[in-house]
């Protein structure tokens, strides 16, 4: 470590000084080099990380004391692969928790220097250290080489202190000095690696040079700068999210992490052919990824002017390992070695810009080499691959909140101010098919306009809030209720919330076209029954039996709700179920009018609900839609319990159950019940599950994708059931897609 006298004073005990004047002088000198640092985390993101990975595909070093789950296992495997470490003891262990001595640091860094292309003197001059004579010849040479490179000047002009442990702040200085002597990986003037000196010169306001470490107050300016720059490069990390612990000993595990991070910025790459992409996943069409192909000898030397074939495919390979006709070449002839293939540059690399994948697709890039005229066959040639996956981009927003569904009239929701003090709005990014998009950092705008009247003509305030989505593609904003004045009954407010973002579409009113405006009325009026809602357990009923013995059983529940969407105990209210569907009868209850096959008897709703089970029977029961309404009356005929408007209850589809081991003529899906994994084709009910196969355009789909295609209620595609086995594996083919 290059510790100058003034820096030594920071770590020495004041008792070493015999005179007070020496103490005062030392304190003055320290104050001149100490740097003030933020008291809180300033920058939690590293902004200058390497584009590619020098350790990609490196296998395990099999150190017995470094399990696969060790946080630095990959870093340790990497430096072992490149010959930077030889392990400890007999070489079977690494001793990750052991502190790094200054002797071992010299060995590490000189091996690292050679691997990243820094010229190291084979016969360095003697630095004149008097305390290194008992070390091995390899260690003495390494120390002299570090001195020759200017990485260290020793602890004094005549000592190196080889057995001292390296402190974490000093290690940052060493790594920075070494790193600034190498050439980063680059394609001409385009750099894919960055040096500390580049970070120091940066004036990019979008990428300020900072760190999250709050414990650097005792560091010198040089140490502070080195730690901060290496953090921004993704080379150095702390012992916690906000602590670097500059005065602690450097462990061998942390040393491996720092060196592996440095390798990423260098031109070092694994032996043989390797391929990487700057962007391997994203949203929407990806066309800005850089594919890097590197060719190295067995000793990691760059192999220049080597012809390499690169092609990509979205359809995979043939079963015999050869290319499908759909494979496309990046240059030259697809899947064949030819004169037009790209050649590696002087540093053994090829950079292919403008690569990627179409939206919603996965593209695999292959690289291989051989003689001109050779054709690709994965069974006979060695190849390396990198995969780029594009997910569907966000094109719509799904809004959810905690307001009762039955409190909605159109896009207006009524909230009980006496009970609810805030409403949290949650916006989920979705694609055009209604699937969630887990895209972070998408800005969603919540415009909240407050009015003092229901007509929303008297504007009180207008505020805009911008929220970025999290890793799940979700943004939230809480809307607080107006102040509830004690004893008052007229604390009201009328809010209009406009939400914009990806796609600018929020379905605030599911019964109408998409509407971006969500309206909330905060009221304190007493609850009264205003709405009835009928529900059935499922949207279908299976017909069993034949002739006069045919029947279908349909349970139904009707619930009373008040204006706030809460269940209301509607004392004195009754409900009568009515249907004009031919062949429908209600044998379980008395008739309500002159049509004996159309109505049920009245059912009391004193609990806020009325339950009834229809048993549809008779020879005329046939597949088709069963529709009915519920007529509600108020037995008390009072103004305090007003009658609510009759409602149309959910339609139930009368269907037959599919037989087994059959093939079905291609037909459109008329009804789809995703919650129960069932669908209706030509009035016949079919089941499906994850054991079945789902195919579209010759490609197998996941169950989730199959359901997503059938989810829209309109324009569902036709489905051909190539094989149906309710106990085994069925085959569903999406036709005419």
pLDDT tens digit string along 714-732? 778 889 888 898 888 899 9
Q: Which residue(s) pair with 294 in the sheet?
A: 274, 349
Looking at 369-458, which runs of residues are DSSP E strands?
A: 384-391, 396-400, 408-409, 412-416, 422-430, 443-451
Beta strand 190-191 pairing with 186-187: antiparallel
The number of angstroms, rounded, from the C-alpha of 712 to the middle of its chain's C-alpha atoms is 26
Beta strand 443-451 pairing with 408-409: unpaired
Taking CA atoms, 271 is separated from 200, 268, 290, 293, 348, in Å, by: 33, 9, 21, 12, 11
Task: Decide if 1 contacts 170 (C-beta within 8 A).
Answer: yes
| pLDDT bracket for residue 573 (50, 70, 90) | low
Mean pLDDT, the chain, integer? 84
The radius of gyration computed from the CA coordinates of the chain, to the nearest angstrom, equals 37
- For tokens 């013995």, the residue is 549
Round to whole Å and give the CA distance between 599 and 576.
7
Verdict on whether the full-model pTM lies above 0.85:
no
The pLDDT, as a whole number, for residue 44 is 75
SS3 for 736? coil
Percent of the chain past pLDDT 90, that is, above it, reads 58
- Other C-beta atoms within 10 Å of 140: how many? 21
| pLDDT bracket for residue 503 (50, 70, 90) | low
Q: Which one-letter DSSP state was computed for residue 565?
A: S
| Separation of first and last alpha carbons in the chain | 68
Residues 475-502 have a mean pLDDT of: 83
Tokens of 302: 């760059």
Percent of the chain past pLDDT 70, that is, above it, reads 82
Task: Decide if 733 contacts 696 (C-beta within 8 A).
Answer: yes
The pLDDT, as a whole number, for residue 176 is 97
Query: Each residue of 24-78: pLDDT tens digit?
Result: 333 333 333 444 444 434 557 899 999 999 999 999 999 999 999 999 999 999 9
Round to whole Å and give the CA distance between 704 and 702.
5
The pLDDT, as a whole number, for residue 506 is 59
Residue 149, C-beta contacts closer than 8 angstroms, at least 6 positions apart: 113, 118, 120, 177, 178, 181
For helices 252-265 and 168-179, angle between their N-to-C axes, nearest 10 degrees: 20
Residue 505, C-beta contacts closer than 8 angstroms, at least 6 positions apart: 395, 396, 397, 514, 516
| pLDDT bracket for residue 629 (50, 70, 90) | low
Round to whole Å and give the CA distance between 683 and 668.
11
Task: Decide if 87 contacts 96 (C-beta within 8 A).
Answer: no
Tokens of 138: 């390899």
Tokens of 582: 């031919």
The pLDDT, as a whole number, for residue 9 is 29
Round to whole Å and give the CA distance between 494 and 449.
8
SS3 for 584? coil
The pLDDT, as a whole number, for residue 601 is 55
SS3 for 504? helix
Query: Each residue of 84-108: pLDDT tens digit?
Result: 999 999 999 999 999 999 999 999 9
Query: Each residue of 584-613: pLDDT tens digit?
Result: 555 544 334 444 444 555 566 667 787 777
The pLDDT, as a whole number, for residue 508 is 52
Residue 569, C-beta contacts closer than 8 angstroms, at least 6 positions apart: 560, 606, 607, 608
The pLDDT, as a whole number, for residue 634 is 54
Task: Decide if 348 contacts 304 (C-beta within 8 A).
Answer: yes
Residue 157, C-beta contacts closer than 8 angstroms, at least 6 positions apart: 128
Round to whole Å and give the CA distance between 511 and 19.
87
Report which secondary-structure segment, H or E, holds 38: none
The pLDDT, as a whole number, for residue 715 is 77
Q: Residue 97's closest CA among 238, 241, 254? A: 254
Q: Residue 221: is its pLDDT beyond 90? A: yes
Tallying the residues shown for the chain, one arrives at 737
DSSP labels, 244-308: --TTSBPBHHHHHHHHHHHHHHSS---SEEEEEES--EEES-EEEEEEEEEEE-TT--B--S-EE
Taking CA atoms, 467 is separated from 66, 116, 605, 653, 720, in Å, by: 42, 43, 45, 43, 45
Q: Residue 652: is its pLDDT beyond 50? A: yes
């Amino acid at each position: 470590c290059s510790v100058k006298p003034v820096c030594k004073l920071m770590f020495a005990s004041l008792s070493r000084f015999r005179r007070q004047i020496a103490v005062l002088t030392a304190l003055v000198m320290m104050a001149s080099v100490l740097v003030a640092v933020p008291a809180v985390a300033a920058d939690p993101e590293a902004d200058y990380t390497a584009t590619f990975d020098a350790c990609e595909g490196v296998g395990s070093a099999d150190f017995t004391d470094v399990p696969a789950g060790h946080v630095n296992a990959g870093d340790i495997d990497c430096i072992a692969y490149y010959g930077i470490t030889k392990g400890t003891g007999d070489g079977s262990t690494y001793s990750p928790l052991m502190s790094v001595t200054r002797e071992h640091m010299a060995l590490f860094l000189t091996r690292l220097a050679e691997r990243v292309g820094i010229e190291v003197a084979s016969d360095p001059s003697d630095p004149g250290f008097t305390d290194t004579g008992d070390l091995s010849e390899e260690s003495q040479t390494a120390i002299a080489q570090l001195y020759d490179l200017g990485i260290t000047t020793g602890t004094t002009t005549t000592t190196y202190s080889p057995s001292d442990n390296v402190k974490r702040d000093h290690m940052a200085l060493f790594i920075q000095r070494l790193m600034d002597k190498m050439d980063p990986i680059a394609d001409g003037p385009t750099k894919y690696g960055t040096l500390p000196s580049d970070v120091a010169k940066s004036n990019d306001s979008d990428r300020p040079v900072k760190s999250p470490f709050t414990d650097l107050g005792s560091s010198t300016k040089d140490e502070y700068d080195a730690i901060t720059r290496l953090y921004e490069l993704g080379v150095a990390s702390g012992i916690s999210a906000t602590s670097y612990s500059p005065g602690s000993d450097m462990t061998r595990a942390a040393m491996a992490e720092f060196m592996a991070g440095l390798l990423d910025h260098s031109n070092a790459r694994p032996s043989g052919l390797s391929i990487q992409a700057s962007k391997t996943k994203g949203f929407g069409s990806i066309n800005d990824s850089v594919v890097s192909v590197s060719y190295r000898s067995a000793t990691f030397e760059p192999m220049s002017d080597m012809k390499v074939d690169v092609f990509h495919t979205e359809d995979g390979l043939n079963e015999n390992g050869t290319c499908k006709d759909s494979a496309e070449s990046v240059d030259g002839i697809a899947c064949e070695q030819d004169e037009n293939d790209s050649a590696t540059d002087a540093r053994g690399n090829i950079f292919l810009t403008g690569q990627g994948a179409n939206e919603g697709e996965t593209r695999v890039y292959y690289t291989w080499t051989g003689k001109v005229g050779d054709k690709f066959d994965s069974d006979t040639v060695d190849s390396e691959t990198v995969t780029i996956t594009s997910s569907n981009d966000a094109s719509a927003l799904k809004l959810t909140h905690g307001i009762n569904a039955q409190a909605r009239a159109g896009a207006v929701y009524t909230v009980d101010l006496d009970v609810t003090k805030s409403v949290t709005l949650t916006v989920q990014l979705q694609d055009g098919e209604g699937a969630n998009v887990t895209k972070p950092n998408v800005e969603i705008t919540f415009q909240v306009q407050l009015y003092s009247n229901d007509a929303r003509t008297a504007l009180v305030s207008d505020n805009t809030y911008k929220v970025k989505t999290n890793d799940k593609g979700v943004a939230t904003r809480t809307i607080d209720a107006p102040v509830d004045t004690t004893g008052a009954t007229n604390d009201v407010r009328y809010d209009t919330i406009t939400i914009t973002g990806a796609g600018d579409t929020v379905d605030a009113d599911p019964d109408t076209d998409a509407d971006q405006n969500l309206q909330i009325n905060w009221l304190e009026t007493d609850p009264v029954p205003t709405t009835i809602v009928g529900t059935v357990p499922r949207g279908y009923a299976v017909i069993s039996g034949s002739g006069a013995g045919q029947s279908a059983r349909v349970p139904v529940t009707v619930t009373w709700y008040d204006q706030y969407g809460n269940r209301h105990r509607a004392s004195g209210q009754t409900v009568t179920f009515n249907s004009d569907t031919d062949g429908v009868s209600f044998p379980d209850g008395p008739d309500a009018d002159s049509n004996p096959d159309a109505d049920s008897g009245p059912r009391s709703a004193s609990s806020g609900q009325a339950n009834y089970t229809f048993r549809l029977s008779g020879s005329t029961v046939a597949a088709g839609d069963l529709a009915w309404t519920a007529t509600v009356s108020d037995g008390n005929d009072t103004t305090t319990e007003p009658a609510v408007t009759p409602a149309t209850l959910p339609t139930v589809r009368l269907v037959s159950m599919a037989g087994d081991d059959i093939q079905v003529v291609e037909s459109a899906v008329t009804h789809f019940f995703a919650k129960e994994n069932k669908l209706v084709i030509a009035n016949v009910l079919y089941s499906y599950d994850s054991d079945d196969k789902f195919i579209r355009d010759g490609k197998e789909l996941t169950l989730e994708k199959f359901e997503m295609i059938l989810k829209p209620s309109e324009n569902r595609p036709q489905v051909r059931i190539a094989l149906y086995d309710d106990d085994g594996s069925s085959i569903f083919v999406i036709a005419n897609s």
